Amino acid sequence: MLPEDRDAAYLWDMLDAAQAILNFTENTNFERYLQDRMLQLAVERGLEIMGEAARNVSPGFQLDHPEIPWKGIISQRNVLAHQYGAIKQDLIWEVVSVYLPDLAARLTVLLPSPSQDQEE
């Protein structure tokens, strides 16, 4: 099932932010990440964008795709946006280095390819 246009737009936003984070952190380890405040802020902002977009994906689409951790993504955004004093960089790094590559792959599968867009 392909997402409706509205959901597809939010999924593209999520994937774009995830890919940006992965590109930013590609040649970085945790120690370097801790020393680079600009990188930390860029990663945090990308995760916020992902969470905001996830929050806007329709409930029906979310229910149809339990392989995406919707609640976790949205909760992470809420912590970053509202409880920024409680941000734990080791947990952020774990999300980026362990979970984000798989999430990006799962989002890619959910989106129509550019050729599918042109055929419709």
Prediction pTM value? 0.89
Q: What is the pLDDT of residues 12-35, one digit of tens each?
A: 999 999 999 999 999 999 999 999
| H helix runs in the chain, sequence order | 5-24, 30-35, 37-56, 59-64, 70-82, 89-94, 100-110, 114-119
- Residue 3 is predicted with a pLDDT of 65
Catalytic residues: 77, 82
pLDDT score of 89 more than 90: yes
pLDDT tens figures, 46-74: 999 999 999 999 999 999 999 999 999 99
User: Does residue 115 carry a pLDDT above 80?
Assistant: no
